[in-house]
Amino acid sequence: MNGETLKGHLDLLLLAALRGNPAHGYAVAETLRARSDGDLDLPEGTLYPALHRLQRSGLVTSKWSESTGRRRRIYQLTAKGARAFSARHDEWRAFARVVRSVVEATP
């Protein structure tokens, strides 16, 4: 999975991973790895800044969890985040459709 390939679509994936499934960063990465059969393996330098960005935008909230003695930050989708997910999903479908029609046009 190339770097530039993911660019601009990471938020959609993170929001998808958090849909109805509050989780901490590490678990989000595991979810994405699992759902993609290992194809999508986010480096930490990608994951955490992106989650912070989502929080700054109000799409997720977070709280510390100390249950296991191990410090974790649990992220949860806000209502705005859920709406953003739908919007991003629509944009993705539109984009994928455009790419298909451009690429699969008979030359």
Partner DNA sequence: CCTTGACGCATCGGATCACTAGGCATAGCA
Partner DNA sequence: TGCTATGCCTAGTGATCCGATGCGTCAAGG
Number of CB atoms found within 10 A of residue 79's CB: 9
State the nearest-atom distance from the C-beta of 62 to a copy of itself, in Å. Answer: 18
Which one of DNA, a copy of itself, none is in contact with 32 (Cβ closer than 5 to 8 A by kind)? a copy of itself
DSSP letter for each residue of 29-52: HHHHHHHTTTS----HHHHHHHHH
Q: Using the minimum distance from each CB to a copy of itself, give the nearer residue, 2 or 68.
A: 2
Name which position in 1, 102, 103, 105 contacts DNA (CB under 7 A).
1
Q: Binding mask 46-85 vs DNA (x if CB under 7 A, - otherwise)?
A: x-xxxxxx--------------xxxxxx------------
State the nearest-atom distance from the C-beta of 35 to DNA, in Å. Answer: 16
Element (H, E) at 9: none
d(CA 39, CA 67): 31
* Cross-strand bridge partners of residue 13: none
